[in-house]
Copies of this chain bind each other. A is one copy, B any other.
Amino acid sequence: MKIVGVDFGGTTFTVGLVDAESGEILKEEQHETRAWEGFERITCRIAEVINSIKEDAKAVGIGSPGSILGGVVKFSPNLPDWKDVPLADRIGKLTGIPTFVENDANAFVLGEKWFGAGKGYDHIVALTLGTGVGGGVITHGILLKGYMGIGAELGHVIVEPNGPKCGCGNHGCLEAIASATAIVRMAKEMKKDFLDSEIFRSDRISARVVMDAARNGDKLGTIIRDRMVDALGRAIAGFAHIFNPQIVILGGGVSRAGDVILKPLKEKVESYLMPSFVGTFDVVISPLLDRAGVLGAASVALENVGR
């Protein structure tokens, strides 16, 4: 059985034809989103790509940023005219295939459940550490969405009271400390005291540059890594106390830093756990890597039509 997965973002979208059994991506195309073109034209182009690679696919799954309920994008931060747009319905009509939509962090945790580190588990907490921090939770086998479908905002739990300002308006959210954006911001803010840090030898400061510096023992890199790991550790321990999960899975660009985050993070998480929770779950980095977006999107469809 084949499924189409559409990893839709504000900058690019990727359409993949996925073997539902193996998770192999049989065909894949990436295109620019061109957000300024608006809902009608963008969805036309997405449908065209789907139609060109779909073969006998049984369903289409889409992972999209924003707040999504029942196939409708209620709003999406980087797509100004996407307000209450019937994304699933429109793509379904343009392709003739049943189409299902979830927000990208929810798609991520579904991808892990169907193809990744969450296979066979009914209790999964997932965090995507990218431009922002997204959350996806499967509890008792159910994707946690909440009353209006806007829940699982794990990135907006406050981990540092009176901490750095977050894009959401609050202070000290996990996103304001553990996202790529936050890591870069912290490096820039502390530049004047760490002028000789290797971070500032790069043309462009990125989360990767900062984490590479931490790996090399650079002082500023280490300070930022430690602060991020401490906040993330506290948050994950909290999520564990709440959900009693079997596994916690990290994805997104920042998670690619690997052991320089994961090793100290596991220690931090353990230090913040109640004794009865120690050893009850593992913290891992998503094994899906570049396939996480398309496989997550495909899993949105699988979650609805079955394998």
Contacts and interface: CB of A to CB of B under 8 A. Distances in A.
Contacts of A67: 276
Contact of A161 (B151, B156, B159): B159
Given A152-B244, A157-B241, A161-B161, 11 more contacts: A137-B242, A146-B245, A150-B277, A150-B280, A151-B241, A153-B274, A154-B241, A156-B274, A158-B234, A169-B274, A238-B238
Given A142-B140, A280-B147, A158 B242 contact: no
A97 interface: no
Given A170-B274, A274-B153, A280 B161 contact: no
Given A139-B146, A146-B123, A244 B151 contact: yes
A237 B139 CA distance: 20
A148 B144 CA distance: 18
A147 B17 CA distance: 33
A277 B74 CA distance: 14
A237 B158 contact: yes
Interface residues of A, number: 45
B238 A149 contact: no
Contact of A150 (B160, B272, B276): B276
A29 B178 CA distance: 53
Nearest to A148: B244
Interface centre among A146, A237, A238, A275 (most CB of B within 10 A): A146
B146 A243 contact: yes
A146 B137 CA distance: 11
A246 interface: yes
B168 A244 contact: no
A168 B122 contact: no
Given A157-B238, A238-B157, A149 B274 contact: no
B151 A122 contact: no
